[in-house]
């Protein structure tokens, strides 16, 4: 085995061990962790804000925001919605990892939360490779991105629990074959739940929120 492969395996093993510790910490506080991944512009933050609107105050929500730059735009939006938020600056890294989340968890009031949403960095490649210790993984796709994303970036879809297809209100204006898109998801992950939604109109938000409520409980 080459030295390069050994180093990569060591990194991933260390990450997985810390991810298990993160999971144990969430379990100890009775908090359900949700890792949200997507490409830039798919609507991660918009979906999170719509989700908060749908499930609070019945569920207490906190958010960890991952970003490659030291900006707090998304965290400020979550705070304005009445939920505690912590910003992680990855320093240019294209994904969050278990180490970053471990540093963020002590900054969250875990005893006062039911659900912790982690907004990963906008990327369809790297985030899927690094376990964080959350209980579920979700990818948000969007109609303007095109219907071929599951075929071009298959790895990120293989181990997700749900796929949220955002911006479905744009289907009349964009050449998007939803059947083709969903067939790509099913080929990779037959058990993933699929939720077509529109953060603009509210379409599909309640079905997505129902799934999340069930997971948290």
Q: What residue spans define the domains of the chain? A: 3-216
- pTM, to two decimals: 0.91
Q: Quick one: pLDDT at residue 67? A: 82
Q: What confidence tens digit (pLDDT) does each residue in 75-100 have? A: 899 999 999 999 998 877 888 999 99
Whole-angstrom Cα distance, residue 106 to residue 16?
A: 19
pLDDT band with cut points at 50, 70 and 90 for residue 71: low
Q: 24-60: b or e for each residue (b if 16 or more CB lie within 10 Å)?
A: ebbeeeebbbbbbbbbeebbbbbbbbbbbebbeeebb
Whole-angstrom Cα distance, residue 153 to residue 138?
A: 15
> Does the pLDDT at position 6 exceed 70?
no
Q: Which distant-in-sequence residues (6+ apart) come within 8 Å of 23 by Cβ?
A: 33, 133, 134, 135
CB 34 within 8 A of CB 114: no
CB 72 within 8 A of CB 103: no
The pairing of beta strand 115-119 with beta strand 136-142: unpaired
Residues making up the chain, counted from first to last: 217
- Could you give the count of Cα atoms lying within 13 Å of 27 in the half-sphere of its Cβ? 9
Q: What confidence tens digit (pLDDT) does each residue in 142-184 have? A: 999 999 999 999 999 999 999 999 999 999 999 999 999 999 9
Dihedral sign from CA coordinates of 140, 145, 147, 149: negative
Question: Is domain 3-216 in CATH 3.40.50.300, yes or no?
Answer: yes
Collapsed DSSP state (helix, strand, coil) of residue 98:
helix
Q: Quick one: pLDDT at residue 73? A: 82
> Does the pLDDT at position 5 exceed 80?
no
pLDDT band with cut points at 50, 70 and 90 for residue 1: very low
Torsion of CA 191, 30, 214, 76, to 10 degrees: -90
> DSSP string covering 124-192, please?
SSGGGGS--S-SEEEEEEEGGG-TTHHHHSTHHHHT-SEEEEE-GGGGGGS---HHHHHHHHHHH-TT-
Q: Quick one: pLDDT at residue 10? A: 65
| Residue pointed to by tokens 């009031």 | 109
Percent of the chain with pLDDT over 70: 94
Q: How many C-beta neighbours within 10 Å does residue 8 have?
A: 11
Whole-angstrom Cα distance, residue 96 to residue 108?
A: 17
């Amino acid at each position: 085995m080459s030295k390069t492969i050994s180093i990569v395996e060591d990194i991933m093993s260390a990450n997985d061990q810390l991810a298990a510790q993160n999971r144990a910490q969430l379990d100890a506080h009775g908090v359900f962790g949700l890792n949200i991944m997507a490409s830039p512009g798919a609507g991660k933050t918009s979906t999170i804000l719509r989700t908060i609107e749908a499930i609070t105050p019945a569920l207490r929500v906190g958010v960890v925001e991952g970003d490659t730059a030291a900006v707090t735009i998304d965290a400020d939006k979550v705070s304005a919605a009445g939920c505690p938020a912590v910003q992680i600056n990855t320093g240019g890294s294209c994904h969050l990892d278990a180490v970053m989340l471990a540093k963020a968890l002590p900054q969250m009031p875990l005893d006062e939360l039911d659900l912790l949403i982690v907004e990963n960095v906008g990327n369809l490649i790297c985030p899927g490779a690094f376990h964080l210790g959350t209980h579920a993984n979700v990818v948000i796709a969007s109609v303007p991105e095109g219907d071929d994303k599951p075929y071009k970036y298959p790895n990120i879809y293989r181990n997700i629990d749900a796929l949220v297809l955002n911006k479905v209100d744009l289907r009349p204006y964009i050449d998007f074959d939803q059947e083709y898109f969903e067939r790509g998801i099913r080929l990779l992950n037959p058990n993933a739940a699929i939720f077509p939604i529109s953060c603009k109109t509210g379409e599909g938000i309640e079905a997505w929120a129902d799934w999340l409520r069930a997971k948290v409980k």
